Amino acid sequence: MHILVLNGPNLNMLGIREPEHYGTGTLAELEAMIAREADALGVTVEFFQSNHEGTLVDRIQAAYGRADGILINPAAYTHTSVALLDAVKAVQLPTVEVHISDPDSRDEFRKISYIRQACIATVKGKGFPGYLEGLRILVQHISKA
Ligand code: DQA
């Protein structure tokens, strides 16, 4: 089983950006944690981060026929991007939405998630371990399919 792990804009700044919301760990540390969990679950993962909406759309499209599922933190594009929603719908891959913070308890504009309607689950407000929970949900879902 092969899982694509996507991170959206500004998540390359983890460790520096707003530690009160996102903690002090870096993206490299986050990816290492996910890779260890993937090993334990017996699945392979590939990582991709971009600050660009179209590049993320391209990456989702490229997963068609290559990956079994997607774990995505669309970051700010969660709240704005119909294009990411449509990309996930187009490839029809089981997808889990993850957020480090809980966007629903922050600004009003963070309460909307476009991608959520195409996702099998959302994990939010659990810090980096939320990605591990999201990966487990995804793997269990795909195993049952
Ligand atoms: C985020 C929450 C979003 O509202 C924000 O724009 C991010 C990160 C999170 O992981 O908590 O960039 O997706």
Phi, psi of 63, deg, nearest 5 = -75, -15
- How many Å apart are CA 96 and CA 99, to the nearest integer? 10
Distance 116 CA to ligand 1 centre (A): 14
Contact 100, 128 (CB under 8 A): yes
- How many Å apart are CA 93 and CA 4, to the nearest integer? 10
Contact 135, 3 (CB under 8 A): yes
Question: 2-144 architecture in CATH?
Answer: 3-Layer(aba) Sandwich (3.40)
Distance 99 CA to ligand 1 centre (A): 6
Question: Which residue's CA lies nearest to atom 3 of ligand 1?
Answer: 75
Per-residue pLDDT of the chain (145 residues; tens, 9 = 90+): 999 999 999 999 999 999 999 999 999 999 999 999 999 999 999 999 999 999 999 999 999 999 999 999 999 999 999 999 999 999 999 999 999 999 999 999 999 999 999 999 999 999 999 999 999 999 999 999 8
Annotated domain spans of the chain: 2-144
Catalytic residue flag (residue 77): no
Question: The whole model's pTM is what?
Answer: 0.98
